[in-house]
Amino acid sequence: MAAKNIIVKVADLEDYIKGQSNTLGRRAARMNYRMYSSPVNISTSTLQVTFEDLYEQINVRRKQIWEEFKNS
């Protein structure tokens, strides 16, 4: 079975890349951006959670953050 990936959009690409702590992290983020149009790519192949569970957890947290943002 092929691994499924979750691609996360970031608000400011350059800011995200500059925020990486070392050269390897910045290069990996740029490579991910070229390959996936986002510097953040989560592969579920090595995680101990299913793609569906991870996707649901990310969406729950995203909605919580959005609500906190709207109410601030």
pLDDT of residue 45: 86
Which pLDDT value is given to residue 64? 95
Mean pLDDT (10-residue bins), the chain, 72 residues: 85 95 96 94 88 93 93 88
CA 13 from chain center: how many Å?
A: 12
Q: Which pair of structure tokens corresponds to residue 32? A: 């991910």
Q: What per-residue confidence (pLDDT) applies to 17?
A: 95
Task: Kindly report the number of other CB atoms within 10 A of residue 36's CB atom.
Answer: 13
